[in-house]
Amino acid sequence: MLRYVTEQNPHKPARKFVPVCAAVLAAVAIGGCSNAADEQPTGAAPAAESKPTSNNARAGASGADAGPDLAMLQQWGAQLNAARQASELIDFMDTHIASVEQETADAMLRDLFTFYRTDLQQLKEAYQRPLVQRVLVDLPLPISEQAMNDIAEEEVRTLLQTTVDGFYKLKAADGVAPMVDYSAFEIYDPYLSPDLQAYIALKAMESDNPAASDGTLIVPWDELAMRALAAEAYLKAYPGSEEYDEVKSLMSLYLSRYINGSSNTDPFEAGTYRIKNALKSSYMETVAASPDSIVGTIVAGYLEVLEASGWQVYEPQSEGTAQNIPEVHEFTQGLDAQLEKLLGSKSK
């Protein structure tokens, strides 16, 4: 099938920040209730770091190797071993996913995500070639079908088609680079377990609208809070998910950016080092809206620390310098420990 090199799936409406987060939270809540009612764990052993094999696929589908999907899993394993491009695996899934058990569909998609770890790196290297960058650097993103067809260099056209057929998209990052387009995988939602659907939705929020670019936050403060809350809802709903640790890291990242900003986006006003008023208001709204959440608990604690410091993140010194305020520094540097404590230990 022909797919275009766009920054957004052409068959989906544009995503909006907070509504999308709210949708993820709702999906997690519904799926989590269903999961609890069935009293069935959603996870298995973590996927291997190496390239998937037929054994990976059979192990990923809990008990499926003894059921009706054995032959299909064997075909899938052979396809995994032979595949040179992600598009080959996607074509296989497009053909067969509707005919397999949910556990098998989950296993196939998880194997594909593992495949991306190697394939994405190889694709990035292909985009670093001088010819590719020279041709693409001045083209606006997303690249239209017409613009792609107008490219004279067949090598570049072929690379672009490989990119979009493999469920990748392009982003501007020191030139042009590929990234996985997680929203493209939402077409498989009817065949997947609730935890994997919710995981894809979380990842799609970031691939559709990255929170940061080149060290600068490019989403509102409230969006960071909502994404952290969405990740928290996932962790509480699916403690046995194979994606638990990855989502926990994602929650930690969003929470850290919400509290500490980023390398090029400060949480404080220049010169005074006082917390930005917009961020302070966002903190208060988050606590008011989600007082019993882990995110709300941590943010409430930070508000207390900031109030005690006179809302100073740092203490201004002479000549535009500043020094740490011990209580503020201790709090902001201890976010992961707080998160781990509040989430509780988890064993797979």
For residue 69, tell me if it sits in a domain.
Answer: no
pLDDT at 54: 42
pLDDT at 346: 43
pLDDT at 230: 98
Evaluate whether 104 touches 112 at the Cβ level (below 8 Å).
no
pLDDT at 271: 92
pLDDT digits (tens, 9 = 90+) for 166-212: 999 999 878 899 999 999 999 999 999 999 999 999 999 999 999 99
Domain residue limits at 307: 266-343
Evaluate whether 286 touches 241 at the Cβ level (below 8 Å).
no
For residue 314, tell me if it sits in a domain.
Answer: yes
Q: What is the pTM of this model?
A: 0.82
pLDDT at 150: 94
Residue 305's Cβ-side half-sphere holds a number of Cα atoms within 13 Å equal to 20
For residue 115, tell me if it sits in a domain.
Answer: no
pLDDT at 318: 84
pLDDT at 261: 98
Evaluate whether 224 touches 18 at the Cβ level (below 8 Å).
no
> What stretches in the chain show pLDDT beneath 70?
1-66, 345-348
Could you tell me which residues are beta bridge partners of residue 262?
Answer: 265
At 44, list the tokens.
Answer: 């298995």
For residue 8, tell me if it sits in a domain.
Answer: no
pLDDT at 21: 57
Secondary structure E strands in 101-256 = 168-172, 176-180, 212-213, 216-217
For residue 140, tell me if it sits in a domain.
Answer: no
Torsion angle (degrees, nearest 10) of CA 173, 10, 208, 94? -100
Of residues 236, 253, 247, 244, the one with CA closest to residue 347: 244
pLDDT at 50: 40
Of residues 75, 103, 114, the one with CA closest to residue 91: 75
pLDDT at 25: 61
Of residues 255, 261, 265, the one with CA closest to residue 230: 255
At 137, list the tokens.
Answer: 């650097």
pLDDT at 206: 95
Total of domains in the chain? 1
User: Can you say how many angstroms the Cα of residue 272 is from the centroid of all Cα atoms in its chain?
Assistant: 35
Residue ranges in 211-334 assigned as alpha helix (H) = 221-237, 244-260, 277-289, 294-308, 326-333
For residue 296, tell me if it sits in a domain.
Answer: yes
Of residues 2, 14, 13, 5, the one with CA closest to residue 147: 5
For residue 255, tell me if it sits in a domain.
Answer: no
For residue 223, tell me if it sits in a domain.
Answer: no
pLDDT at 320: 79
pLDDT at 32: 54
pLDDT at 16: 37
pLDDT at 268: 98
Evaluate whether 181 touches 206 at the Cβ level (below 8 Å).
no
